[in-house]
Amino acid sequence: MSEMPRYNGFVPPPTRGEAVVRRLREEILHGILPPGAPIRDAELAERLGVSITPIRESVAVLISEGLVEALPNKRRSVVVLTQKRAQELMDVLGVVVSAGLERVDGPPAKRRSLAKACREFATAAGASDAAKSEQTFRRFLEQLYALAGNDELSRASEAVIRRALGMIRLYPSDHLMPMWVEAFNDIAGLIVEEPAAAASRARSFFATLVTAMGADRESTAVVRP
């Protein structure tokens, strides 16, 4: 979630809907709302002391992030992230990132700016700063798809990225961060002069990542925060 704007050091409080989204997201990420837990609007509204409307709006946001699943008969529940599903998320994320890199175009100055954004993400990932890592990764992707020059790819990728980054928050991944750091430093070094090689490095990285994740647990095991 992006940081709220600051005005002379003053941070405006979140709206009620934003506050509810933040609260429910944290409860899911910390296992207070466990995998498979039913989402009942009235119960949540009573517990959090709000009306039904901000609950429904918040649940819609969490569905878009992949943290809540819409089920038949208008039921909703906390997502159940299996090991197989986590690997599939990273596989498809690799597809859209590589597709963007394959299409990078534009003047060298903009490609250098993209390389800088890529290195900033690698630095944040190396520091194990989850919030900064997500923020800088999103910034890198925004610049990437702007340089790719394909609006339909950008739109299609947006939904994939939102779900992948939302759900993967549930995955304990500190042991995988050195792989991300090495790969994205390599990609940053290739983007300006060899974007095709950068795309190839991204494909190789995500394939290796998915394989490495497979050693974490059985494919059917539920990943718990």
**What confidence category does residue 12 fall into, taking pLDDT thresholds of 50, 70 and 90?**
low
Decide if 199 contacts 191 (C-beta within 8 A): no
Mean of pLDDT over the chain: 92
What does the alpha-carbon distance between residue 118 and residue 84 come to, in Å, rounded to a whole number?
28
Q: Is the pLDDT of residue 1 over 60?
A: no
Residue type, 192: V
Q: 102 near 196, Cβ under 8 Å?
A: yes
Other Cβ atoms less than 10 A from the Cβ of 172: the count is 10
Tell me the backbone φ, ψ of residue 219, rounded to 5 degrees.
-60, -30
Residue pLDDT, tens place only, 116-139: 999 999 999 999 888 899 999 999
- DSSP structure string for 12-32: PPPPHHHHHHHHHHHHHHTTS
Residue 4 near residue 12 (C-beta atoms within 8 A):
yes
- Residues 6+ positions from 42 with CB-CB distance below 8 Å: 52
Reported confidence tier of residue 106, pLDDT bands at 50, 70, 90: confident
Residue 225 confidence class, pLDDT cut points 50, 70, 90: confident
pLDDT at 6 over 50: no
